[in-house]
Amino acid sequence: MRLYSSLSRRKEELPPPPGPIRMYFCGPTVYQRIHIGNARPFVISMWLKRWLELQGYTATLVENITDINDKIYDAAPGASAKLAADASLWYVEDTGRLGLGRPDHEPKASETVSEIVALIEELVRCGLAYEAGGDVYFRVARYAEYGRLSGQRPDEVQEQEPNPLKEDPRDFALWKATKEGEDTSWDSPWGRGRPGWHIECSAMAERFLGPSFEIHGGGLDLIFPHHENELAQSRGAGREFARVWMHNGMLRLTGEKMSKSLGNIATLQEVLDEWGAETVLLFFLTAHWRKPIDFSEETMAAARAQVGSFSEVQRVAAARESAAGWGEFVEALNNDFDTPAALAILHEWRDAGQTDLLHRGLNVFGLAFERLPEDRRDVTINVPAAGAQATALTVSVRIVGDAPERVRKLAEERHVARLQKEYTMADAIKDEIRVLGWEVQDEIDGYGLVPLR
Ligand SMILES: [Zn+2]
């Protein structure tokens, strides 16, 4: 399996199954209900884990919850801990409604402070960090590879977190001394304070995945400074850290309604209330994970229509061979997890009435529809002939769902009428069957009975 890495700027081959494949995805900073855009890395990571496991991999997914951060202190001065605890529950509740299960570990920064402090101490000891007025900063100039992930020359890196006490404007905070109005703080060798955002992820990833692991993911907006800084901290401290860096494209609010409500956030909760989990999941399938994805009434309506069309597969008369088989589907996903290519194959299977393949393929993405029992058998019917003995004829009958005896009988009568070229009568019986909630479909060597919606 190949995945594009932002670090090497090419597709990287994963080790063969069973791996292991250890993955760390940056989760949300919890201070409000998450935006639909924040659901994208969650969905991609859960799908990827499921797909890797189906390919025989041992996959471990860690997705953190950032519950110590400037944004939370700003959103709830003096009460950030309560807001972070509430918003963590909202996040689990909203993403839980997607029906994809949970990551293996969902660590919180507030539960990892001792590991964070130990990592900062290590960086101070080896000269990569220094204390300044109760804060601790990373010495960017001492890390030669700085800027490689985000593609910046070290001398061009923008200033981060302005503070006159810093040695270099590029240096970023690993530890911040407690400021007035902050309701949470922890002990450290540099006094009371709390960790900076970037070091939290370096420590949480190492705690659950060890010093080197296969995949690090998150939104493209995190590549600088967050991921550049994570990489500098961990590699600076001698860890290999992540090999493949997956950055998903951003969600754009488009369409008339969305543009009108600029600043009006579309939370995952609201979107799930309006469209349901299946439509949300199908929407995310439509764009390659590295590309932007456009969220609008129109794109969501189109996703809903696709969900509906898949659930109709059993109504497709007479299944036929499709050009793509399971192997092509596997190849699409193993080639940089190309979900639009996989989606095109799902449509091909739907059009060909390939219920088994479609069901198996949709199941990868948590989209399996309710499947009705399907029965195909040969039935012998007697076709009366004028002035002669009735002919016994064997026809192939396909029945989807639980057709009542009366409907089966009518379908048989209609078939006899057709064989006798009594088309008016055949059409009348077809209408009668329809009134009873069923559709009769002509096939080459018989007929099918499928329930109407
Ligand atoms: Zn992170």
**Can you tell me whether residue 370 is helix, strand or coil?**
coil
pLDDT digits (tens, 9 = 90+) for 178-227: 998 899 999 999 999 999 999 999 999 999 999 999 999 999 999 999 99
Ligand 1 centre to CA of 420 (Å) is 72
Ligand 1 centre to CA of 371 (Å) is 40
Ligand 1 centre to CA of 53 (Å) is 24
Ligand 1 centre to CA of 63 (Å) is 9
CATH of 252-364, one of 1.10.730.10, 3.40.50.720, 1.10.10.10, 2.60.40.10: 1.10.730.10
Ligand 1 centre to CA of 117 (Å) is 17
Ligand 1 centre to CA of 178 (Å) is 22
Ligand 1 centre to CA of 436 (Å) is 57
Ligand 1 centre to CA of 25 (Å) is 7
Ligand 1 centre to CA of 227 (Å) is 7
Ligand 1 centre to CA of 271 (Å) is 25
Task: Reply yes or no on whether the pLDDT at 369 is more than 60.
Answer: yes
Tokens of 152: 């910046």
Q: Name residues whose C-beta falls within 8 Å of residue 105's C-beta, 6 or more positions apart in sequence.
A: 60, 61, 62, 63, 208
CB 47 within 8 A of CB 25: no
Closest CA to 400 of 344, 449, 366: 449
Ligand 1 centre to CA of 176 (Å) is 17
Distance between CA 279 and CA 36 in Å, rounded?
A: 13
Ligand 1 centre to CA of 147 (Å) is 17
Ligand 1 centre to CA of 230 (Å) is 8
Ligand 1 centre to CA of 237 (Å) is 17
pLDDT-derived band at 154, boundaries 50, 70, 90: confident
Ligand 1 centre to CA of 224 (Å) is 11
CATH of 2-120+195-248, one of 3.30.470.10, 3.40.50.620, 3.20.20.30, 3.20.20.80: 3.40.50.620
Q: How long a stretch of residues is the chain? A: 453
Distance between CA 92 and CA 83 in Å, rounded?
A: 14
Q: What is the pLDDT of residue 370?
A: 84
DSSP annotation of 144: T
Looking at residues 103-110, what average pLDDT do you find? 97
Ligand 1 centre to CA of 5 (Å) is 17
Ligand 1 centre to CA of 226 (Å) is 6
Q: What is the pLDDT of residue 225?
A: 94
DSSP annotation of 274: H
Ligand 1 centre to CA of 161 (Å) is 17
Closest CA to 382 of 396, 392, 370: 392
Task: Reply yes or no on whether the pLDDT at 339 is more than 60.
Answer: yes
pLDDT digits (tens, 9 = 90+) for 30-47: 999 999 999 999 999 999
Ligand 1 centre to CA of 216 (Å) is 9
Q: Which of 18-22, 65-69, 252-256 is predicted least confidently?
A: 252-256
CA terminus-to-terminus distance, the chain: 40
Ligand 1 centre to CA of 413 (Å) is 67
Ligand 1 centre to CA of 19 (Å) is 23
- Is this model's pTM higher than 0.95 or not? no
- Please report, rounded to a whole number, the percentage of residues in the chain having pLDDT higher than 90: 85
Ligand 1 centre to CA of 148 (Å) is 17
Q: What residue ranges do the domains of the chain occupy?
A: 2-120+195-248, 252-364, 374-451
Looking at residues 55-67, what average pLDDT do you find? 97
Average pLDDT, the chain: 94
Name 453's bridge partners: none
Q: Dihedral angle at the C-alpha atoms of 210, 211, 216, 220, nearest 10 degrees? A: 140
Distance between CA 427 and CA 424 in Å, rounded?
A: 5
Distance between CA 21 and CA 213 in Å, rounded?
A: 7
CB 287 within 8 A of CB 252: no
Ligand 1 centre to CA of 368 (Å) is 32
Ligand 1 centre to CA of 26 (Å) is 4
Ligand 1 centre to CA of 204 (Å) is 9
Ligand 1 centre to CA of 134 (Å) is 23
